[in-house]
Amino acid sequence: MLKGIVVGFILAVIALVGGGYYYFANGMAPVATSEPPMPFERKLSSMALRARIEKDHVGESPVPADEPNFVAGAKVYKDHCAACHGLPNQPPTTYSTTMFPKPTQLFRGKGVTDDPPSESYWKAANGIRLSGMPSFKKSLTDTQLWQVSELVAHADQIPESAKQILVLDTPPPAAPAPASATKSGK
Ligand code: HEC
């Protein structure tokens, strides 16, 4: 009886591992950004991320949520985050809509205003593996990371001075073509 259970258990483990290997080795797993998620992919990845952030105990923001920090955070955001996470009142960029997972539009809907700044700080500092979210630890200072985290946590209540930074750059007016080039007939 016991022997039967042990053999059954071993066979089940082999079938599971073998099935998993077959799924990945035969090109059945979705790998293109346009494909639907793998079974349990979203659930497992968000569970792992949440658990890890909790384990790391980031602590409270050393940067107050005030106007100078929102303005500084807006500059960081515009240069380093907006291409993926969007600007207020602008549609998402084309490439952000073709990524998997799609970057949350941080100035649309609730964005991450329901997450504490410490959570966004962890994500911006460390990046999120197997998503397009880079780590900014090497390109931004700790203060800048907190400033941009305060900004996105308060995306629905930032002052006008910060909003003015978060606008699309208008391209400079095209220089008039030199007279000789306009009707060269070539
Ligand atoms: C190249 C694209 C890209 C850039 C640039 C980028 N991110 Fe992300 N970001 C992502 C992706 C992709 C995700 C993952 C979304 C998911 O897991 O659903 C993400 C996730 C996040 C999240 C969590 C969103 C949520 O819904 O929980 C935060 C916060 C965040 N990024 C902040 C930033 C900040 C701040 C910057 C700039 C310093 C930045 N990101 C730059 C692509 C990007």
Number of domains, the chain: 1
Query: Is residue 23 assigned to a domain?
Result: no
Structural domain that includes position 71: 47-163
Ligand 1 centroid to Cα of residue 52, in Å, is 17
Q: Choose the residue to mutate in 133, 152, 158 for probing ligand 1, maximizing ligand atoms within 8 Å of C-beta.
A: 133
Query: Is residue 107 assigned to a domain?
Result: yes
CATH at residue 136: 1.10.760.10
Which residues contact residue 111 at a Cβ distance below 8 angstroms, ignoring those fewer than 6 apart?
104, 105, 152, 155, 156
pLDDT in tens, 129-186: 999 999 999 999 999 999 999 999 999 999 999 999 999 987 777 777 676 554 444 4
Query: Is residue 120 assigned to a domain?
Result: yes
Closest residue to atom 36 of ligand 1, CA basis: 81
Residues 50-61 have a mean pLDDT of 96
Ligand 1 centroid to Cα of residue 53, in Å, is 15
Query: Is residue 149 assigned to a domain?
Result: yes
Please give the Cα distance from 92 to 104 (Å, whole number).
10
Query: Is residue 37 assigned to a domain?
Result: no
Q: What is the pTM of this model?
A: 0.88
